[in-house]
Structure 1
Amino acid sequence: MADHDAVHGTAAASADDFGRRLAVFAADLKALRIERGNLPLREIARRAPRHRPLSAAAVSEALNGKRLPRLDFLMALVRTLLAHDHEGRPYPHGRDDPGLEVWRTRWRDLELLRTARPPAARRPATPKPDPGPPVPAPCVAATSPAPPRLLFGEQSCGARFLAFSPDGELLATVNDDLLVRLWHAATGEPAAVPLTGHTDGVRCVAFSPDGRLLATAGRDRTVRLWDPRTGSPVGEPFAENGTTLWALAFSPDGNLLATGGHDRTVRLWDRVTGKPVDAPLRGHTGGVEAVAFSPNGRLLASAGADATVRLWRADDGKPEGEPLIGHTSEIRSLAFSPDSLLLASGGWDGMVRLWDPCAGEPVGGPLTGHRNAVRGLSFAPDGRLLVSVSMDRTVRFWDPVSHGPLGPPFTRHACSFRAVGFSPDGRFVAAGGDDKPVGLWATADLAEIPVRGS
């Protein structure tokens, strides 16, 4: 390959340096394409993995260095090019093949350099408004809201999962690549250089209740702990017995971590020792894609590809009642209300459902309106508002008591949303997805009339 130099992202890194290294990177991709038979773009697209389609146009952009592709796109492209030997015979490469690691490393170094370019090298971000005094309760417009003020710049580059720190000062985002990013929530500016250590895509992130730890997990099958104030790793990674991790949550007391993943189990970990607590929780018949503890610490909810929600006693891991059935396809998101009396679930069927976790029963009918998978849910800190985001590119607000929508949905930059969260004080809503910048909006900017009871 033409360039194996490590790239260290610093505030002094120039746009010219990034452009030069991106061009070298693209040239090496072209060389790999030629080496593997110089396949036509349409043939590359045809051979792409079913789980990660590659369009001919996007492959052309990557090969010509138009922009740095997402990590999952790059790895699918490289694996496709390597999938046959020089004579065209199948030669599959697994995700852990050592030959792929150099591409992951080079992507990480380029991404660090890209995000470390000085402000003059980036498109100017929207001016950051003064957030003003706290508002007593989240509000939403009864009619179509004006476009909210976007507080984050382009360097945020999307989010598949996000989490606010308990004090509301930081926002952590991960985007299924190798980096964990921290932002100042009030300004949208980076709070630190991206955290590195994972060797494959990071899928989920969570702050401990006291804010002293940040936990991350993903495709490299490990849970890692960080000090969010310094960006330093804390202890050794937790091994997850060879399964990709899709979901992560801290217990309210901060002593336990729950994970869910491809192996259809939920695991509980002692956050201090990094050791599993008892045996895995079994019952799901498909991968576990969402986990959530009730705020009162009594229950743990899990859901995933089998379209069911399961409840477990958090103290001993025993099942609590029968599975909650109602969704018609896999469930991607869960959220408890602050009083623990409601559980919301969002699925690939485009529906949001509310459950009584104590009775194990649905509460009313489904909340309908989304036209694609619901990927993120969050209750406002006072419990009077539920927000959902979807791959239909909309953000919707709901009254969890009347089950009605609060105002019409809004959208931004044709972004397929995958993550959403209220700040701890309820003043902001953050949403992200795809490769678009993370949006952080003041809830007051969405308001014309207050929600029920304010």
Structure 2
Amino acid sequence: MSEPVLAFVLRLRELYEESGWPSLQAFAQAVGYSRGTISRFLSGDRQPKAYFLDKLFAAMEDRTGRPVTEAVRADTRRLYFESIRLKTPAEYQLFRMEEELRAAHDETRQRLDEQLKAHDTDRKALTGQIAELTDNLRRMEHEWQDLLHRSERLTEQARVEGERRKFLGQVLEEVARLQDGLVLALTPPQQPPEHWPLTGLVLGDRTGKVDEMALSPGGALIASVGSDGTLRFWEPAASRSPVRTLHHDRPVLALDFHVGRRLLATACQDGSVWLWKLAAGRSAEPERLGSEITDVRAVAFAPRGDGLLAIAGLGGRAVELWKPDRDGATPGSPSRRVRFLRDEDTGRPPPPGTRVGRFSGYRLYEGFGGHTDGVDALAFSPASGLLATAGVDGTVKLWDLAVGTPAAGPLSGHEGPVRAIAFSPDGRRIASGGADGTVQLWDPVTASPTGQPLTGHTGAVRCVAFSPDGQLVASSGDDATVRCWSPAAGRPLGKPLTGHHGPVTGVSFAPNGSLLSTTGTDRTLRLWPRPAI
């Protein structure tokens, strides 16, 4: 046996023993040969064919569960072809060519793998750089948007703050001219700056409590009345208009401005209703309406501008509608003139020749009831087609003014008298406030509540008002607080506005919506900035 053949035979025996076959017969079956043929392969009496090596390696991997390394494969193949080199030279040459091709293939594959790895590394690096640049661009875009929004917000805040400072400066300048002992104070902040960035401005009078107030349509005039019967006017944004104080001879419970006719309606405790003509440079002479309501609780002008006036209260038909008499007469319920009592600026009656604002009388247009215990408050819809009345019987009723009949069934939900009522500027919502301390929002079309009652007041709600854009509802009550709500979300906005020392009896927004005015039994009228939404 030649040395190359012996080396190959020894390798076969080594592989056979390492594989741990239980018998030669089992090994023969695994490689697909007979036991005798395998025995002759292991003794060197017979040389196997080249494909025997592939069967051998496959059987070894199945037996051991481990792959045969490339080094073992290559060395075994080399020993095999060395053993047959002299016996079959052609097959040996084929083996050499195959090995050279394999080596060249392996070298080429290794080189390509290295190139692919390098390309993959470069691709990953580029991908990472692109992702980083994309993130930077997004971050820069977000920062830019944030800066843009912040700039817009700061610009708007600066504009609003400038208007407020100008307004307060005019108020302080005007108050310095007053001669009747008006009390002015800047209250300390009651809420965190993010809720109320400006402190409340307090206008008060030592002579009597303030029960009701109203803003003129242009926002230039504030009127308030109290239990002492005094009608007070503030023109806080005018540089040369002094405060003017006019007297009733009885307590006043309600008042309202007319949108276009520069009229002010006031209602007294004895049931009388008075109209005042407001004209620049003129004194005012009131005109009394002959209402049949014995205890007037509310007056309101219709927004449509034709002068329609609604009066509500206890006794009589509970609700009366009055219109201007185009002919100057007042059939059925004559109105009468009363004397202008006194101008408190001078303490003397107006001098002879003072111009008096003339206006036509009003006549009773229609009256209706519907509530079992009278009406505490009323409000017109923006288009003046509906009138909402708040009843002492705990219901809200809607009236179709075109036909003078109920527009829908009573709105029920309050546990006790309804003390306040207001329409939203678009007419799609109604807010009501009750003696049960809740504020309820209603849909006037479906005559049903929208959402749950707004709770928070610890006493009766005296007044409700929508902001001009309809995004806020303000309510005030016997708990000496003013609360703002989001009608869309049905939740409170910020913390309660405090400062009054007693029930807050009136609340109203300025026409531009930036300020909120409140009045109370503590003899003060307060101005507050609008809370953020």
TM-score with structure 2 setting the length: 0.55
Deviation at 1:217, TM superposition (A): 1.1
1:280-324 superposed Cα distances (whole Å, 9 cap, x missing partner): 211101121101000111100001211110100122321111010
Q: 1:374 aligns with which of 461, 465, 484?
A: 461
CA distance in 2, matches of 1:224, 1:121: 25
1:407 counterpart = 2:407: no
Deviation at 1:231, TM superposition (A): 4.0
1:276 counterpart = 2:335: no
1:24-44 superposed Cα distances (whole Å, 9 cap, x missing partner): xxxxxxxxxxxxxxxxxxxxx
Deviation at 1:416, TM superposition (A): 1.6
Counterpart amino acid of residue 363 in structure 2:
K
Q: 2:296 aligns with which of 221, 224, 245?
A: 245
Counterpart amino acid of residue 288 in structure 2:
P
CA distance in 2, matches of 1:302, 1:276: 18
- Which protein has the larger Cα radius of gyration, Structure 1 or Structure 2? 2
Runs of 5+ consecutive residues of structure 2 not aligned to the other structure: 1-174, 326-360
Q: 1:233 aligns with which of 285, 290, 295?
A: 285
Counterpart amino acid of residue 209 in structure 1:
V
Contact 1:221 1:239 in 2 (8 A): no
Deviation at 1:212, TM superposition (A): 1.2
Counterpart amino acid of residue 373 in structure 1:
A
Query: What is the correspondence of 1:294-443 to structure 2 with a 5 Å cutoff?
Result: 294-443=381-530
1:261 counterpart = 2:349: no
Contact 1:288 1:304 in 2 (8 A): yes
Deviation at 1:195, TM superposition (A): 2.2
Counterpart amino acid of residue 311 in structure 2:
T
Contact 2:186 2:199 in 1 (8 A): no
RMSD: 2.8
Q: Which residue of 1 aligns with 2:353?
A: none
1:208-263 superposed Cα distances (whole Å, 9 cap, x missing partner): 111511111122322211122334125x3111125121001111123210010111
Q: Relative to total residues, which structure has the larger helix share, 1 or 2?
A: 2
Contact 1:202 1:216 in 2 (8 A): yes
Q: Percent identity?
A: 38
CA distance in 2, matches of 1:405, 1:177: 35
Counterpart amino acid of residue 225 in structure 2:
V
TM-score with structure 1 setting the length: 0.65
Q: Which residue of 1 aligns with 2:253?
A: 203
CA distance in 1, matches of 2:232, 2:272: 18
1:367/1:409 Cα in 2 relative to 1: closer, same or farther (>3 Å)? same
Q: Which residue of 2 aligns with 1:45?
A: none
Q: Which residue of 2 aligns with 1:170?
A: 221
Deviation at 1:154, TM superposition (A): 4.0
Contact 2:177 2:242 in 1 (8 A): no
1:155-199 superposed Cα distances (whole Å, 9 cap, x missing partner): 585422211101110011112332211111437998543223x44
Task: Report the more deviating stretch, 213-222 or 302-311.
Answer: 213-222
Equivalent position SS for 1:438: strand
CA distance in 2, matches of 1:152, 1:250: 26
Equivalent position SS for 2:265: strand
CA distance in 2, matches of 1:425, 1:358: 28
Counterpart amino acid of residue 435 in structure 1:
D
Deviation at 1:125, TM superposition (A): 2.3
1:144/1:166 Cα in 2 relative to 1: closer, same or farther (>3 Å)? closer
1:219 counterpart = 2:219: no
1:389/1:365 Cα in 2 relative to 1: closer, same or farther (>3 Å)? same
Q: 1:125 aligns with which of 173, 179, 184?
A: 184
Counterpart amino acid of residue 259 in structure 1:
I
1:155/1:183 Cα in 2 relative to 1: closer, same or farther (>3 Å)? farther
Counterpart amino acid of residue 276 in structure 1:
L
Q: Which residue of 2 aligns with 1:87?
A: none
CA distance in 2, matches of 1:192, 1:121: 9
Deviation at 1:123, TM superposition (A): 7.6
Q: How many residue pairs get matched?
A: 317
Contact 1:249 1:259 in 2 (8 A): yes
CA distance in 1, matches of 2:430, 2:239: 30
Contact 1:372 1:391 in 2 (8 A): yes
Counterpart amino acid of residue 440 in structure 1:
L
CA distance in 1, matches of 2:250, 2:204: 25
CA distance in 2, matches of 1:404, 1:142: 20
1:404/1:214 Cα in 2 relative to 1: closer, same or farther (>3 Å)? same
CA distance in 1, matches of 2:194, 2:240: 31
Deviation at 1:352, TM superposition (A): 0.1
CA distance in 2, matches of 1:352, 1:388: 8
Contact 2:439 2:454 in 1 (8 A): yes
CA distance in 1, matches of 2:420, 2:240: 27
Contact 1:224 1:233 in 2 (8 A): no
Deviation at 1:142, TM superposition (A): 9.1
Contact 2:198 2:529 in 1 (8 A): no
Runs of 5+ consecutive residues of structure 1 not aligned to the other structure: 1-115, 129-139
Contact 1:172 1:183 in 2 (8 A): yes
Deviation at 1:435, TM superposition (A): 2.8
CA distance in 2, matches of 1:227, 1:373: 34
CA distance in 1, matches of 2:362, 2:183: 43
Contact 2:375 2:390 in 1 (8 A): yes
